[in-house]
Amino acid sequence: MGNSIDILGLDFVFHIMKTEDKDKLPIYLRELYDICWVEILGRNYIYARLLEPGTKADAMKKHRNAMFKIFSVECIFEIPKITVYKRKKLIESKLAFVVPDKQVFLAYLGINLTDKVNKEIEKYDIEIFSTSSQILFLNLIYNETFQEINPTDAGKILGFTRMTMTRAFNEMESLGLVSSKKIGNKKIYYHSSNYSQMIKKAFEHLKNPVSERLCTDDLEILKNAPISGLQALSEISMINPPSYEIRALKKDDNRLKAVNLCDKEHISEPGFYELELWDYDPSLFKKDGVIDIVSLIACMKEINDDRIQIEIEKLIGGAHNG
């Protein structure tokens, strides 16, 4: 006899998964999820309670496929807390999920239940960082001054208003990237300096800074422009470099007024370069002429190539200050 629980009017009957069945699962899945069986409307499913909130929707899709391959049964994920962005990604991927007392989405049963009274959207429900929030995040990672700072001082350093910085810090706090304390009448924000964990938490919210890609043969403009994109990844990983060089400039850089642009069909020919135009200065935290790792992750995270994503995971795991 299973344990029956009503979730938004739908009866979930939970059953313990036997040890011999759990042992069929890879260790990483057993560490990421608390797994059992659940019966809904007379059908059995795998029920996986997410233990690591920062797990990405794309990764969860792979986990669902791995479990289906073993048991030939669909999986329902329980997520204790969810953002609008993550919900959207899960629904797009047709992944079944439950946010206890707030939403039940079971695409293969045509079920999408929500609590209309207690809406789950929080005060700062962030999808993708704004440019100002991303610049703040970069400074949290790379700038020691930002290990403990208030919004007014942060705004003076970065060139943003106190209001803009206050909202950005509130976003960071809602994602668990910073904590706050009161000193006198000032609210001070600080972080743990666990950079790898911070990047994992921020990953799905990182904004791709590239607004446009151009082709140029103008070597003069590229002199101090940092290496970016796939070429940057190839500089610090085992990924093969592209057949052409890639550089980046801020989209309002004055040098762009005189740059010689070429048709993109020439990009693979000798003497031609790809020029990325960014929403913020790609030289902010460049190292050895290469864009910073967090911005590189933001540029590459949506590329559907397993080799690239493996290298991105390695970068996140090895992230450190500077």
Strand bridging mode 273-278 / 245-250: parallel
- Supply the pTM of this predicted model: 0.65
Q: Which residues pair with 49 in a beta bridge?
A: 34, 78
Round to whole Å and give the CA distance between 276 and 216: 10
Question: Which segment, 171-185, 253-267, 280-294, is predicted with the most confidence on average?
Answer: 280-294
The tokens of 282 are what?
A: 């790609």
> Closest Cα partner for 103 from 124, 73, 128, 83?
83
State the architecture of 131-205 in CATH terms.
Orthogonal Bundle (1.10)
Tokens of 130: 């704004």
pLDDT for the residue 304: 83
Q: Share the mean pLDDT of the chain.
A: 88
| Residue 168 clears pLDDT 50, i.e. is over it | yes
Rounded alpha-carbon distances, angstroms, from residue 122 to 1, 50, 107, 174: 37, 20, 24, 9
182-210 pLDDT, tens digit per residue, is: 888 889 999 987 888 899 889 989 999 99
Look up tokens 């991927």; give the residue. 93
pLDDT digits (tens, 9 = 90+) for 133-159: 999 999 999 999 999 999 999 999 999
